Amino acid sequence: MSDRKEFRDLAEPAEAHEAIASLDLEPEPETVELAEARGRILAERVDADLDVPGFDRASMDGYALRASDTFGADEADPAILELVGEVHAGSEPDVFVGEGECAEISTGAVLPDGADAVVMVEKTAEAGSEGEAIEIRTSVAPGNSVMPAGADIAAGQRALGPGTELTSREIGLLSALGRDEIEVRGQPTVGIVSTGDELVRPGEELHSDAGQIYDVNSYTIAAGVEEAGGEAKLYPHAGDDMAVMEEALTTAAEECDLVLSSGSTSASAVDVVYRVIEERGELLLHGVSVKPGKPMLVGRLEESAYVGLPGYPVSALTIFRTFVAPAIRRAAGVPEPRTATVEGTLAAEERYTEGRTRMMPVGLVENEAGETLVYPVDKGSGATTSLVEADGVVEVDADTEYLAAGETVTVTLFSPSVRTPAVLAFGEDDPAFSRLLDRLPSSRFLAVGSREGLRRLRDGLPDAAVVAGPVRREVESVGLGSWEREWGLIVPDGNPEGVDGFGSLADADLRFVNLDTATGLRASADAELDRLAAARDTDAAALQDAIDGYEFTLKAHESPARRVLDGKADAGLGLRATAEKLGLGFVPVDTQTVRVRANPERVEKQGVQDLKAALAGIDELFADLPGFSDS
Amino acid sequence: MSDRKEFRDLAEPAEAHEAIASLDLEPEPETVELAEARGRILAERVDADLDVPGFDRASMDGYALRASDTFGADEADPAILELVGEVHAGSEPDVFVGEGECAEISTGAVLPDGADAVVMVEKTAEAGSEGEAIEIRTSVAPGNSVMPAGADIAAGQRALGPGTELTSREIGLLSALGRDEIEVRGQPTVGIVSTGDELVRPGEELHSDAGQIYDVNSYTIAAGVEEAGGEAKLYPHAGDDMAVMEEALTTAAEECDLVLSSGSTSASAVDVVYRVIEERGELLLHGVSVKPGKPMLVGRLEESAYVGLPGYPVSALTIFRTFVAPAIRRAAGVPEPRTATVEGTLAAEERYTEGRTRMMPVGLVENEAGETLVYPVDKGSGATTSLVEADGVVEVDADTEYLAAGETVTVTLFSPSVRTPAVLAFGEDDPAFSRLLDRLPSSRFLAVGSREGLRRLRDGLPDAAVVAGPVRREVESVGLGSWEREWGLIVPDGNPEGVDGFGSLADADLRFVNLDTATGLRASADAELDRLAAARDTDAAALQDAIDGYEFTLKAHESPARRVLDGKADAGLGLRATAEKLGLGFVPVDTQTVRVRANPERVEKQGVQDLKAALAGIDELFADLPGFSDS
């Protein structure tokens, strides 16, 4: 292995920020049409080059006149003025208003010469048989109901400054000034080069047996670049072919303000990056003392800035968000997002002693007192689900080895639009409950299994737990709803081995696939084995030993069935609903009850009430879930 | 005038919300490529249809082996295993690891059959002369440094629910699942029909004499539609041609989910809208009891929803934001923005007795105690500048006639990204100061004139005031900076009338244009006239009367010069810098001092400190401002 890969001299986060700040990624300003300008940042200062409005403008329907002719007029003693013409919006007045005269005028029309005020129509009446005179029943001052030329903004005045974000409101002002094109800050072009033989672009065929995985970083980082105000450009996937990789890097450097590479975990690929940077640029920094994300490169490549991101998705996105996104925002002139942080209370103690600054992904939940509880969501830096199960990040200093439960921490939300879930549930991954969640869009459910769900409920973290099958240790809780589901052994279609229960698995040489002990299905299976052992006058452990694969467990409830489907097992633990969905055979064993149990302190919480109301209609979801029924 | 235009039965705001909610603007879902999916809302529920990772994956560089072979091994007593092959990421293992054997493995590679754990390379050493054996210096449990198939997410598990907004994080998970296309909520198509003879699209030529103004609403509302998650479609400007207007409305109704019309203030145009709606649709509501924004129509037009917006830009955008944007967000599946409200203290009392719910645009400033002060920004519903000078809206109940200074009000920000300005200044519109503002992007300056700036400073609203010329009543303040500027009479190029000061204006029959009494230039001009009157042994009032146009005042400091430029006046009050900028003649009268004066309580405020620092370099801006100099 290369010495370089050991990252002996890790840079402090501040050094990494400095290294990136020393790079120039700022593109030239560009001119865009007003209709395309929303969300862009003004590069120029905009002064009005005309008066708005461009003329003295009537702001009421009524009569244009000389204010002095109305002095003293009221309902009892109106002034009578001669009607000499009319002026409509959008046309040039062809009338002069002299002393004792008036002209009909509509809102938005040009105040005719001679007139200095408008009286609204409601304060007037026609007079004279031919309507040739008008009664004015109020007195007005010069300028009444007139918006003078330039009153909104006058020629020569500063309208907007450079750095202004163009929202609908600024677009309104620019429209009023007649601007149909506008100079805005350029969006830095960010080239994304993903490397690694094992990566396949989404949509293409995947060969898992050959260790292939989908390329997560390319589209994820591209979306992150756009969120930060840059323009992302994906380069063809470079694999681990050194020539292709070098070509992709140098082409991207020619075409972009910043090149990001990510993906390859192979030492030889890293070596190519090192060589290309050293031959055609400069390496400023490699390795930063942050977890996740240690392997980060910063440098220059040709005329472009270069950052190498770690390969693991969570690491790559963390490094991107922490170090690269702020630089892209600066280059694009986009202000740092309004501080989207929340204070919360750590729900459980957290220990960590690796001596690197830790960017700890966390989820949020509101407790009964309206306080925010914070819990780590750390499924490893290879887990893309932790990206969507977390709400933000707590930065933990390198020298903080211990955070106590109840400690106050500051969470930087992933974006200001992140919301604390309305209801948080942990527990058994049940297909009916999973469908119910579609009706509760701001809910969050973590499929940790019944046992773990109950444990977390006891610790006071989630609002509710979903628990299936027998329970060893009771937890104080309030039932929100329950239903029954049929479980058993899932076998190939037609049940070719004639499996008729756990007994036949113990007696024949059949490969079985079990579920994790945290699941309620496993709890029921264990209970069934206890019953069977008693009936056979043996002990359950001996029976388990006799079943080939009883200790081979998977976590997800459909996974054993899929092993059977793939011909990798003869039988698997699962639900009738799963067997029928996958077109497999099913040997029923029993039914079990699934209960949704609320934290008793949080029953009044709106999200819990909404969950309870939704659960009242869960039987609507049983139609295509064979084996499911009301409790 | 039509009876309808009087809006005798105004609907309550709640009724207007209901009427719009009764319309269906929801488009069909659509399929987009993952690369284009950022910011869209998931229409479907997404279940994993494969395990991620798809195989048991090494999470370290090292050796794949059977954990049982390492039991008891440590630094002092390593286990020695036979090296039987190697496995790289992205390739299918061609080796079986038996008892007493190991295989070199790289991060991300498939765990070979037979092996159940990985030992990291740092805990191993080569043994044997040919490297055919490996020392294992630690003991590991089965599964160590292995990410099992499906550990991130397993086939059959729910990945994302409908209604989820797709950010970089969700795009990461969808990438991992191999999805390159995704079904998202459709964006409602919103047709915008602007009417009114007087409206000209930005970029086209404007005839102000004919009462033309630029069409503000079309692009502004289009931007608002996009901010709310809709897709805006502008229809050709319909003018007041009834046939064209009807055609535009019916075409838009055929092509769009929602038609918005706006613009015309003419009764006949409103009548066309009424007729078209009544013939081809249904009118549900006209007129809503909100200020600004009374004239609002809600109905159906063919199969489309229809809302008629008021013509004035502030009214149109207020009605749009209050009633229409939430309906577009609902139809697009976009969640309501995280409540972007701030509590603030009203800076001055506010009276209002019109009996309609008032949507009062307000600006914000932070006082010395860090509290938010709130002040109305109300230049009339025709003023587009009030769109950008306000930060949000305070909703005042129809029956609230009085709000006291110091009262706490809730401000709904225009968007969550709105920030309170770092520094707020009121006062004289000075070209050097105006350029300085370009260096302070988060500042706000309102050009209300020196006198008004001082008055507001005395009332404790702004952080600073910009004051030019003589001051009648002193205000306690702290000087932040000052400079001199030369002022006088701006005349046509070459000074054809031989103007040599105010005296010649009084003596000859020349048309003069003055500035508003709130400006510092006017204060200096008045003082000059006092001096001249004393010299001539007359009184200033007589001298003012003798100058034709002394009472004809404009607000913006360049405006008198522009009247001269247009041939509408022989002389105007102004600065040498303005005369030279516009290529006009200049008759110097005097210099005056411009002072930036801070609220003494807020000198420590960061924005004020930044302003002071910037002012120290204001002389850098004098190069192309003739007549400007250091104090």
Give the pLDDT score at A276: 86
Give start and end residues of each alpha helix (H) in B186-241: 217-227
Interface test with A, best of B47, B220, B324 (most A CBs within 10 A): B220
Confidence category of residue A437, pLDDT binned at 50, 70, 90: very high
Nearest to B208 among A54, A384, A554 (CB): A54
In this prediction, residue B409 carries a pLDDT of: 95
For the domain made up of B3-26+188-332, give the CATH fold. Answer: Molybdenum Cofactor Biosythetic Enzyme; Chain A (3.40.980)
Q: How confident is the model at residue B39 (pLDDT cuts 50, 70, 90)?
A: very high
**Nearest residue, CB atoms, B89 vs list A165, A166, A266:** A266
Cross-chain residue pair A109–B211, CB shorter than 8 Å: yes
B538 CB-near residues (< 8 Å, 6+ apart): none
Helix and strand counts by DSSP (H, E) for chain A: 16, 37
CB–CB contacts below 8 A, A to B: 407
Q: Nearest-CA residue of chain B relative to A391?
A: B169
Section B458-473 average pLDDT: 94
Query: pLDDT grade, residue A9 (50/70/90)?
Result: confident
pLDDT at position A274 is 82
Neighbours of B571 (CB within 10 A): 33
Give the chain A residue nearest B51 (alpha carbons). A559
User: Shortest CB distance from B197 goes to which of A90, A165, A556?
Assistant: A90
Interface test with A, best of B38, B171, B317, B438 (most A CBs within 10 A): B171
- What top-level class would CATH report for the domain B30-52+152-184? alpha beta
Distance CA B573, CA B14 (A): 52
Asked if residues B574 and A156 have their Cβ atoms less than 8 Å apart, the reply is: no
pLDDT of residue B378: 78
pLDDT band for position A278 (50/70/90)? confident
In chain A, residues with a C-beta closer than 8 Å to the C-beta of B234 are 35
Across B125-131, average pLDDT? 82
Cα B81 → chain centroid: 66
- Predicted confidence at residue A2, as pLDDT, reads 38
Mean of pLDDT over chain B? 92
Enumerate the residues of chain A whose CB falls inside 8 A of the CB of residue B420: none
Q: Per-residue DSSP letters for A524-536?
A: HHHHHHHHHHHHH
- Smallest CA–CA distance, residue B534 to chain A, in Å, is 31
Nearest CA in chain B to A163: B441
Select A433-631's CATH number: 3.20.20.70, 3.40.50.10710, 3.40.190.290, 3.90.1150.10: 3.40.190.290
| Most trustworthy range by pLDDT among A493-502, B305-314, B329-338 | A493-502
A534 min Cα distance to partner chain B (Å): 32
With bands split at pLDDT 50, 70 and 90, how would you rate the model's confidence at B267? Answer: low
- Is the pLDDT at A340 greater than 80? The verdict is no
pLDDT per position as a tens digit, B66-96: 999 999 999 999 999 999 999 998 899 999 9
CB contact under 8 A, A220 and B175: yes
| Burial class of residue A441 in the structure, from the number of CB atoms within 10 Å of its CB (0-12 exposed, 13-18 middle, 19+ buried) | middle
HSE-up (13 A, CA, CB side) for residue A279? 9
Do A151 and B383 lie within an 8 Å CB cutoff?
A: yes
pLDDT-derived band at B339, boundaries 50, 70, 90: low
DSSP label at A288? Answer: B
Closest CA to B84 of B110, B103, B70: B103
CB atoms B110 and A154 under 8 Å: no
HSE-up of residue A147 (Cα within 13 Å, Cβ side): 26
| pLDDT given at position A602 | 97
User: CA of A609 to nearest chain B CA: how many angstroms apart?
Assistant: 20
Q: What pLDDT does residue A263 have?
A: 67
3-class secondary structure per residue, B303-365: CEEEEECCCCHHHHHHHHHHHHHHHHHHHHCCCCCCCCEEEEEECCCEECCCCCEEEEEEEEE
Percent of chain A with pLDDT over 90: 78
In chain A, whose CA is at the least distance from the CA of B214? A176
Main-chain phi, psi angles of A168, to 5 degrees:
-55, -30
pLDDT score of B238: 78
Residues 6+ apart with CB under 8 A from B205: none
- Nearest CA to CA, how far is A153 from chain B (Å)? 7
**Residue contact B208–A51, C-beta within 8 A:** yes
Tokens 């942990």 belong to residue: A426
For residue range B6-23, what is the model confidence (pLDDT) as tens digits?
A: 445 789 999 999 999 999
Q: At what angle do helices B450-458 and B520-536 cross, to 10 degrees?
A: 120
- Nearest neighbour of A437 by CB, restricted to B34, B108, B158: B158
A67: closest CA of chain B, how far (Å): 15
Contact B158 A434 (CB under 8 A): yes
- Between chains, do B156 and A557 touch, taking CB under 8 Å as contact? yes
Give residue-wise pLDDT tens across range B537-553.
999 999 999 999 998 88
pLDDT at A4 over 80: no
Q: Which of A445, A459, A444, A560 lies closest to A513 in space, CA to CA?
A: A560
Q: Return the half-sphere exposure (C-beta side, CA atoms, 13 A cut-off) of residue B239.
A: 6
For residue B348, give how far its alpha carbon lies from the nearest alpha carbon of chain A (Å).
23
Pick the more confident residue, B415 or B102: B102
Q: Which SS3 state, helix, strand or coil, does residue B297 take?
A: strand
Most confident range, picked from B287-291, B341-345, B604-608: B604-608
Query: Between A301 and B355, whose confidence is greater?
Result: A301
Span A310-328, pLDDT tens digits: 888 888 999 999 999 999 9
Ramachandran bin of B293, using left for φ above 0, alpha for ψ from -120 to 50, beta for the remaining angles: left
Nearest CA in chain A to B415: A167
Backbone angles phi, psi at B102, to 5 degrees: -150, 165
Mean pLDDT, residues A23-44 taken together: 96
pLDDT of residue A266: 54
Nearest to B270 by CA among B308, B319, B317: B308
Confidence (pLDDT) at B269: 67
Mean pLDDT value across residues A624-631: 95
Q: Helix, strand or coil for residue A540?
A: helix
Instruction: Name which of A90, A162, A437 is nearest B196 (Cβ-Cβ).
Output: A90
* Average pLDDT of chain A, as a whole number: 92
Mutate which: A45, A87, A171, A568, vs B, most B CBs within 10 A: A171
Mean local confidence (pLDDT), A331-354: 85
Inter-chain residue contact B161 with A437, CB threshold 8 Å: yes
Is-contact A344 A409, C-beta < 8 A? Answer: yes
- Residues of chain B in contact with residue A68, where contact means CB-CB under 8 angstroms, are none
The minimum CA-CA distance between B537 and chain A, rounded to whole Å, is 32
Total count of residues recorded for chain A: 631
Sign of the C-alpha dihedral, residues A557, A559, A562, A564?
Answer: negative
CB contact burial B605-629 (16+ within 10 A = b; e otherwise): bebbbbbbebbeebeebbeebbbbe
Contact B224, A168 (CB under 8 A): yes
Q: Specify the residue for token string 């005269």.
A: A101
CATH architecture, domain defined by B482-595: 3-Layer(aba) Sandwich (3.40)
Nearest CA-CA distance, residue A537 and chain B, Å? 33
- Which of A60, A174, A183, A388 should be substituted to probe chain B, the one whose Cβ sees the most B Cβ atoms within 10 Å? A388
Contact state of B208 with A55 under an 8 Å Cβ cutoff = yes
Quote the tokens at residue B32: 């987009």
Domain A57-147 - what CATH class? Answer: mainly beta
Contacts of A50 in chain B (CB under 8 A): 206, 208
With CA atoms as reference, the chain A residue closest to B149 would be: A554
Summarize pLDDT for A376-433 with one digit per residue, the tens. 997 777 788 988 999 999 999 988 888 999 999 999 998 877 889 999 999 999 999 9
Q: Say what percent of chain A tops pLDDT 70.
A: 97
The more confident residue out of A337 and A236 is A236
Q: Which of A211, A311, A385 sits opposite B173 (nearest CB)?
A: A385
Share of chain B above pLDDT 90, in %: 78
- The answer to whether domain A353-420 has CATH 3.40.50.300 is no
B116 → chain A, closest CA residue: A552
Is A161's CB within 8 Å of B437's CB? yes
* Tokens 């969905």 -> residue: A581
How far apart are the CA of A237 and the nearest CA of chain B, in angstroms? 14
Dig out the tokens for B584 from the structure.
Answer: 């006009």
Contact B382 A59 (CB under 8 A): yes
Q: Which residues of B332-344 are buried (b: 16+ CB within 10 A; e: fewer)?
A: bbbbebeebebeb
Q: Which residue of A has its CA nearest to B57?
A: A211
Mean pLDDT, rounded, for B521-526: 97
Most A CBs within 10 A among B6, B61, B214, hence the mutation to make, goes to B214
Q: What is the mean pLDDT of residues B142-163?
A: 94
Residue of A nearest to B437 (CA): A161
Tokens of B93: 């293992």
- Tell me how far apart the alpha carbons of residues A295 and A11 are, in angstroms, rounded to a whole number: 10
Please indicate whether, in this complex, the C-beta atoms of B210 and A53 are within 8 angstroms of each other: no
- The amino acid that residue B142 corresponds to is P
In chain B, where the domains are located? 3-26+188-332, 30-52+152-184, 57-147, 341-420, 482-595
Q: What is the mean pLDDT of residues A506-518?
A: 94
Q: Which residues of A264-275 are buried (b: 16+ CB within 10 A; e: fewer)?
A: bbbeebbebbbe
Distance to chain A for B63, nearest Cα, Å: 13
Are the beta carbons of A569 and A511 closer than 8 angstroms?
A: yes
SS (H, E, C) A372-402: EEEEECCCCCCCCHHHHHCCEEEEECCCCCE
Report CB contact under 8 Å: B417, A338: yes
Q: Which of B367, B383, B373, B392 is nearest to B555 (CA)?
A: B383
Report the CATH architecture of B341-420: Beta Barrel (2.40)
Residue of B nearest to A269 (CA): B89
Identify the closest residue of chain B to A440 by CA–CA distance. Answer: B161
Residue B98 has pLDDT above 80, yes or no: yes
Neighbours of A555 (CB within 10 A): 18
CA A210 to chain CA mean position, Å = 32
